[in-house]
Amino acid sequence: MHKTFTNQDVENYYDQTEIHYRMFWRLNESLGLHYGIWDKHVKTLKDAVWNTNQRLLDLGGIRTTDRVLDAGCGVGGSSIFLAQKVGCKVTGITLSKKQVQTATAFARQRGMAHLITFLQADYTKTDFADHTFDIVWAIESMQTAPDKAAFFREMQRILKPGGKILIADCFKTYDFDIAKEKAMQTMLHGWAMSDLLTISELEQIVGNHNFVKIAHQNVTGEIQPSVRRIYLAAILGFFGTKWYNLFRNASYFSKIHYKTGLAQYHTYRTNQWGYHLMVLEKTASNFRP
């Protein structure tokens, strides 16, 4: 069945499962919840997670003078990465108040608080003025929006003319009904996500909002070690969840999180989704007098 998640659901997911990422994704080191991209230079999980940031940065290009919105910033790892690597000013927004606190603490610990601000906000309806940002950074956040068009409508409004959206995310490999695919439902619903776009669906939506795709990389094969690690963590999580529930009831997302880890492995191996990096540019038709 198709399920739509509220902002509160999304906040609950990240708050309830943060402990899992601290345990199995080395959150205090990697500062990221996203898939890591592995290549010959990557030796550790932390390096893989940060390599995703680096690969997206290399593809899109960000200047020191750019003002960046990290839309769906999580615990702030990408914002910290950009501040350290580029020296640009970054505003990170998340639906989770707890993540704002965690991200702010991480930025302060790493001496980047002077360049970064974290806020609790909905990226489909922000309070930012028109034409505020040069760059929107969206790692595994755009697909979380139940209404993808609402995301791009808001990004079109707050980006400056010629501004760019840099995306790293999962996409369906072909057009199919997720409501009829139980494993895909398990994968997405456990992450408080309703659905995924295909690349062609994305291109149609962004075209309707005056964006054009200017760069694209399919890195599906390069996240395989991350997919496997999540799968192995999910197996451990199964036993941990059963043990925990002998003594007290786990929260909803914490209880089902291991199922998502198992399902993402199965659906990856059956080629139902892939992982892509891309850059979208706001076209000249968006210039306002």
Q: pLDDT per residue over 5-58, tens digit each? A: 999 999 999 999 998 888 888 889 999 999 999 999 999 999 999 999 999 999
Query: Cα dist. 91→30, 73, 268 in Å?
Result: 19, 9, 32
* 1 pLDDT above the threshold of 60: no
φ/ψ of residue 241, rounded to 5: -65, -45
Give the residue carrying structure tokens 């990170």. Answer: 92
Task: For residue range 113-141, list pLDDT tens digits in order.
Answer: 999 999 999 999 999 999 999 999 999 99
CB atoms within 10 A of CB 182: 10
Look up the pTM and report it.
0.93
Q: How far apart are CA 268 and CA 228, in angstroms?
A: 10
- Name which of 122, 103, 199, 214 is nearest 165 in CA terms: 214
Classified by CATH at the fold level, domain 7-282 comes out as Rossmann fold (3.40.50)
Token digits for 20?
């899992």
The question of whether 140 is a catalytic residue gets the answer yes
CB 273 within 8 A of CB 185: no
Nearest to 226 by CA among 39, 37, 54, 24: 37
User: If you write DSSP's letter for every residue of 175-230 in order, what string do you get?
Assistant: ---GGG-HHHHHHHHTTT-----BHHHHHHHHHHTTEEEEEEEE-GGGGHHHHHHH
Name the percent of the chain lying above pLDDT 90: 83
| Beta bridge partner(s), residue 70 | 92, 137
* Strands annotated E in 61-210: 67-71, 89-94, 116-120, 133-139, 159-172
Among residues 28, 8, 11, 19, which one has the least CA distance to residue 100? 11
Q: In angstroms, what CA-CA distances link 64 with 50, 103, 138, 151, 274? A: 19, 21, 18, 25, 31
| Cα–Cα distance measured from residue 283 to residue 265, given in angstroms and rounded to the nearest whole number | 37
Q: Which is the catalytic residue, given 11, 18, 29, 140?
A: 140
Contacts of 198 by beta carbon, 8 Å cutoff, 6+ apart: 171, 172, 173, 174, 175
pLDDT band at 2 (very low <50, low <70, confident <90, very high): low
pLDDT at 242: 54
Q: What is the mean pLDDT of residues 90-101?
A: 97
At 240 the pLDDT is 58
The string of pLDDT tens digits covering residues 195-223 is 999 999 999 999 999 999 999 999 999 99
User: What is the rounded average pLDDT for all residues in the chain?
Assistant: 92
